[in-house]
Amino acid sequence: MTGGTDEVPPRREQPLRVRWNAGVRSLEKGDGDGPVVAVVPGLGALGYLVDTAARCGEWTRAALLDVPGFGHRPPRPCRADVTGVADAVERWLDAATGDAPVVLVGHSTGAQAAVHVALRRPEQVRSLVLMGPTFPPEQRRFAGLVRAYVRNSRREPPGLIPVTWPYYLRGGPRELARFVRSGQRDRPEHTITGVRCPVLLLRGEHDAFAPPEWVDRLASAAPDGRVATLPGAHTFPYRQGAETAARIEEAARHAHRP
């Protein structure tokens, strides 16, 4: 399989090379002997994370994973839900990284999937970075989720639409709804207690989907959890790619400290 002309959106993906492993498409940059940075997007949209992944590729091999596959034509590598994405990430790790250490990065629903992968792969995932992790208990009901959406949308930059909506349109409303419902059923506050590696939780200062009390709760539940706040709303990496990548590099270094 090849990337072909069906990449979405191609202009934003040009800095990264396209690879396929275990049926999963990844957008990659960099090499080296350091840990592999694997980035799992939220709700299957890659565009807002391209800059972060590219900047991580300046100091190690970085891969932005197209899961559940909204960036290319079917067949897709997995179901559009938290468990399906976690399963696909595991397959990708087996096929693409060997026994190399991994810094696993997830945003939004991708953060939820990343927690499951770290729990299953304690020997390989050396550091876990959770960006804007969803959903706090109050957002597991429709009304709470809508309130958070309205508050957050007021703070997102207009340029975000062309780098996210092409993926959402390709995924379709049924698959997006399935993904959101699976995230609402997930319980990261319980899962994260079994993670062995250091955990860095990043949130945007205006992120209504990851309010500070929720992020602090997750950090407290993790055996080694830290919190940092960056400017922006839920999709803060879109405008803060350099700073986000710097925090990921710091997390990689923290994992190797005695």
Q: What is the mean pLDDT of the chain?
A: 93
Task: Report residue 3's pLDDT band, with 50, 70 and 90 as the boundaries.
Answer: very low
What confidence score (pLDDT) does residue 142 get? Answer: 95
Helical H runs in 97-235? 109-120, 142-153, 161-171, 173-185, 188-191, 212-221
CA–CA separation, 176 and 41 (whole Å): 13
Model confidence at 207: pLDDT above 60: yes
Interatomic CA distance for residues 242 and 253, integer angstroms: 17
pLDDT band at 15 (very low <50, low <70, confident <90, very high): confident
Q: Phi and psi dihedrals of 37, rounded to 5? A: -95, 115
Average pLDDT over residues 60-64: 97
What confidence category does residue 255 fall into, taking pLDDT thresholds of 50, 70 and 90? confident
Ranking 9-18, 51-60, 156-165, 180-189 by mean pLDDT, the lowest is: 9-18
List pLDDT tens digits, range 89-100. 999 999 999 889
Cis peptide bond N-terminal to 68, omega within 30: yes
> 235 - beta bridge partners?
none
pLDDT of residue 257: 54
**Phi, psi dihedral angles at 203 (to 5 degrees):** -140, 155
Domain map of the chain by residue range?
10-255
What pLDDT sits at residue 7? Answer: 39
What pLDDT is recorded for position 120? 97
**Cα angle 220, 121, 87; round to 5:** 105
What CATH topology corresponds to 10-255?
A: Rossmann fold (3.40.50)
